[in-house]
Amino acid sequence: MEGNLLSEGNVNPQAFKPLKELTYLRLGRNHFRSIPRGLPASLLELYLENNLIEEISETAFNHTTNINVVVLRHNKLDESSIAPLAWINHRNLESLDLSHNNFYLVPSFLPKSLIHLVLAGNQIERIPGYVFAHMEPGLEYLYLSYNKLDGDAIEPESFLGTFNTMTELCLDHNQLTSIPMGINEMTTLHFLRLNNNKIRHISEDAICDPLNENDSHLVALRLENNFLDPRKIPPTAFSCVRSYSSVVLKPQRIK
């Protein structure tokens, strides 16, 4: 039902009530300002991209307790427009796309069950401490490309709760000046993107923990388009990368 003129004003809350087995609903490219009311309890995937959604109320997903995928990219959401109890207690919501909205922070009160989070193309300047710490079993895929993360963006506790689950982390196209704290504690990380930042130095233990001599786990590491001098990178800095051919260091920007 995407690409129409639908909004909360012309969709009756009882419209979906007879659809007892509806699991997949696309309402993208319409005129919704909030999550449509009366969504069926059977819903597993909801696509609301390219609308005008500016709030998610406490009751927006009350009846869709089985929902697994929610796509809200290209809307008008920010960190203050999501009610604290909107979805934090959902046990099945594993994938959430909030890319291309108006977030300045990674939002709090994210679903406990979240595995896949997309926040690319916002204005995010900070990842607050403990923002992922409540998740069970923990976040695996985090996409924060094309934001405004800089040297003060990431706290020691920012990635708490992800150290044993994070598989893919994209922090490319930001303004980071160093390797963020916590990356060297991610024991399951396979893909790391830090290209197109302002990184000038890599310390010996910034990416790989020299005290952890377990199997090399990083499959791909991208660091091109920073301000790095490859000759000054410590020889053990990439010891947890499976193959040195998987490290992309060229080109670098001229200082």
Task: Please write the tens of the pLDDT for every residue from 24-46.
Answer: 999 999 999 999 999 999 999 99
Average pLDDT of the residues in 73-102: 97
pLDDT tens-digit readout, 155-198? 999 999 999 999 999 999 999 999 999 999 999 999 999 999 99
* CA atoms of 63 and 42, how far apart (whole Å): 9
- State which of 92-101, 216-225, 228-237 shows the largest mean pLDDT: 92-101
Alpha helices in 72-117 (DSSP H): none
Whether 58 shows a pLDDT value over 90: the answer reads yes
Confidence of residue 54 (pLDDT cuts 50, 70, 90): very high
Q: What is the pLDDT of residue 244?
A: 85
Q: What is the pLDDT of residue 206?
A: 94
| pTM, entire model | 0.96
Q: How far is CA 66 from the centre of its chain?
A: 21
Confidence of residue 93 (pLDDT cuts 50, 70, 90): very high
Q: Which residues contact 19 (CB under 8 A, 6 or more apart)?
A: 40, 42
Domains of the chain, with CATH numbers? 1-88 (3.80.10.10)
pLDDT tens-digit readout, 5-15? 999 999 999 99
Percent of the chain with pLDDT over 70: 98
Q: What is the pLDDT of residue 135?
A: 97
* CA atoms of 192 and 194, how far apart (whole Å): 7
Whether 214 shows a pLDDT value over 70: the answer reads no
pLDDT tens-digit readout, 195-212? 999 999 999 999 998 777
Whether 255 shows a pLDDT value over 90: the answer reads no
- In the DSSP assignment, the letter for residue 105 is B
Confidence of residue 213 (pLDDT cuts 50, 70, 90): low
Average pLDDT of the residues in 119-135: 98
8 Å CB contact between 23 and 47? no
Q: What is the pLDDT of residue 215?
A: 66
Q: Helix, strand or coil for residue 117?
A: strand
Q: Higher confidence at residue 107 or residue 236?
A: 107
**What rounded mean pLDDT belongs to the chain?**
95
Average pLDDT of the residues in 140-152: 97
Phi, psi of 172 (to 5 degrees): -70, 160
* CA atoms of 116 and 141, how far apart (whole Å): 5
Average pLDDT of the residues in 95-115: 98
Q: Helix, strand or coil for residue 185?
A: helix
* CA atoms of 80 and 171, how far apart (whole Å): 23
Residue 153's identity, in one-letter code, is A
